[in-house]
Amino acid sequence: MTTTLASPARPVDRPAHRDPNVLRWLGAYASSAVGDNVYYIALSWTAVQSGTPAQAGLVTAASAVPRALLMLGGGVVADRYGPRRVVLGSTAARSALVLGAAVLLLVTSPGLWVLGAVAVLFGIVDAVFLPAAGALPARITSRDQLTRVQGMRGMATRLANVLGGPLGGLGVAVGGTAGAFGLAALLVGVSLPLLLGVRVGALPPDERQDRQPVLAELRDGLRHIRRDAVLRPLVIAAALSDLGFVGPMNLGLTVLAQQRGWGSAGMGWVLAGFGTGAAGAALLITWRGRIPRAAVVAAVTNLVAALAIAALAQVPSVAAAAGVAALIGVTAGLSGALCGALVQVRAGAAYLGRVMSVSTLVGFGVAPLTFPLVGGAVTLWGTGPVFAVCAGVSALAGVVVLGARPLRRAELP
What tens digit of pLDDT does each residue of 369-404 get? 887 788 788 888 888 999 999 999 999 999 999 999
* Whether residue 178 sits in one domain with residue 286: no
* Same domain, yes or no: 242 and 193: no
Q: Could you read off the pLDDT of 122-148 as tens digits, one per residue?
A: 999 999 999 999 999 988 988 888 889
User: Please, which pLDDT band fits residue 53 given cuts at 50, 70 and 90?
Assistant: low
Shortest CA distance to 247 belongs to which of 351, 148, 370? Answer: 370
pLDDT for 108: 80
Confidence at residue 110, expressed as pLDDT on a 0 to 100 scale? 67
The reply to whether 204 falls in a domain is no
Digit-coded pLDDT (tens) for 245-273: 988 887 788 788 888 888 877 878 888 89
Higher pLDDT residue, 57 or 116? 116
Residue 275 and residue 395 share a domain: yes
Tell whether 7 is covered by a domain.
no
Residues 400 and 302: beta-carbon distance below 8 Å: no
Q: 2 lies in a domain?
A: no
Residues 175 and 238 occupy one common structural domain: no
Percent residues over pLDDT 70 in the chain: 94
Residues 236 and 114 in one domain: no
Instruction: State pTM to two decimals.
Output: 0.86
What is the CA angle 396-341-188, rounded to 5?
A: 105
* Residue 207 within a domain: no
Residue 6 lies in a domain: no
d(CA 343, CA 360): 11
In a domain, 67, yes or no: yes
Q: Are residues 104 and 33 both part of a single domain?
A: yes
Do 276 and 171 belong to one domain? no
How many Å apart are CA 354 and CA 367, to the nearest integer? 19
Residues 350, 356, 357, CA angle at the centre, nearest 5°?
Answer: 110
Judge if 116 and 249 occupy the same domain. Answer: no
In a shared domain, residues 171 and 255: no
What is the span of the domain harbouring residue 119?
15-144+155-199
Q: How many domains does the chain have?
A: 2
What is the CATH number for 387?
A: 1.20.1250.20
Residue 230 shares a structural domain with residue 327: yes
Distance between CA 245 and CA 387 in Å, rounded? 9
Q: Is residue 5 part of a domain?
A: no
Pairwise CA distance, residues 235 & 221, whole Å: 13
Q: Would you say residue 4 lies in a domain? A: no
Per residue in 182-199, pLDDT tens? 999 999 999 999 999 999
Please check whether residues 181 and 272 belong to one and the same domain: no
**Same-domain status, 172 and 243:** no
